[in-house]
Each structure stands twice: as C-alpha cells, then as structure tokens.
Amino acid sequence: MSALSTDSKPSLGRGFRLQWEPAQNAHVLLYPEGMVKLNGSAGEILRRCDGNRTIADIVTDLETAFDASGLTGDVCAFVSIALEKRWLEIHS
C-alpha cells in the first residue's frame, strides 16, 4: 500500500460494493457476508472514490456540493481508516 497523499486515487476494495438502500435510508457497503451502514459523510466520500478522482478532486467536489471549506483533513482521516478496513484500495 502506497502512502496516502492528495494525489492518491482511491477506489473501492475488491469484493466491496457501495449502494443506496432506500429501506435503510443510507448508503451501505456490502462485502462477503457483511454490511456497513454508512453515515451521511462517509457515504458521500465513498461514492466519489472511483479510482479516477484524486483525493484533492474529491475534496473540491465535496466542498462545492456542501458549500464548505477545509475538508482535506477530514477526508484524509476517513480514507486512512477505510484503507485499513480494506473498504478502499489505492493502486499507484
């Protein structure tokens, strides 16, 4: 696993699937015999992790969408946790 930078392009880990579940009113992450119900911000970050966008792109996108600023720290912190849990991967 390469070190995390704002140029990193995270994508969902193999075997993981993200989808919106109306019955739970939430994004959920599905994986072998398991499921995580995501809170609003986790869902918004993860659905932008498509392997094409860099973390910098994702931050800009979120700041525009939610009329916010200074989200880099929060996004990086979440991506680090998600990498550890293998929800995300980074291919360099």
Partner 1 sequence: MTTVPGHPGPPLWLLLELTYQCPLHCVFCYNPTDFARTGPELATEDWLRVLHEARALGSVQLGLSGGEPLSRPDLEVIVAEAHKLGYYINLITSGVGLTEARIQALKQAGLDHIQLSFQDSTREMNDFLSSTRTFELKSKVAALIKRYEYPMVLNVVLHRLNIDHVEQILEMAEAMQAEYVELANTQYYGWAFQNRERLLPSRAQLKHAEEVTRRYRERPLQKMKIFFVVPDYFENRPKPCMNGLGSVFLTVTPDGTALPCHAARMLPGLTFPNVRESTVKWIWRDSPGFNHYRGDAWMKEPCRSCPEKSRDFGGCRCQAYLLTGDPANTDPVCDLSPHHHLVTEVVAKADQVRPVGSASRLLTGNAAVEKPLIFRDRRNSLALSER
Q: Closest separation between CB of residue 41 and partner 1, Å? A: 21
Nearest to 24 by CA among 45, 38, 44, 12: 38
Min dist. Cβ of residue 36 to partner 1 (A):
11
CB nearer to partner 1: pick between 6 and 80? 80
> CB of 48: closest distance to partner 1 in angstroms?
21
| 31 Rama class: left (phi>0) / alpha (psi -120 to 50) / beta | beta
Do residues 88 and 8 make contact, with C-beta atoms less than 8 angstroms apart?
no
4-43 mask for partner 1 (x: CB under 8 A)? ----------xx-x-x-xxxx---x-xxxxxx--------
CA–CA gap between residue 29 and residue 87 (Å, rounded): 8
Q: Where along the sequence are the contacts to partner 1 (CB under 8 A)? A: 14-15, 17, 19, 21-24, 28, 30-35, 86
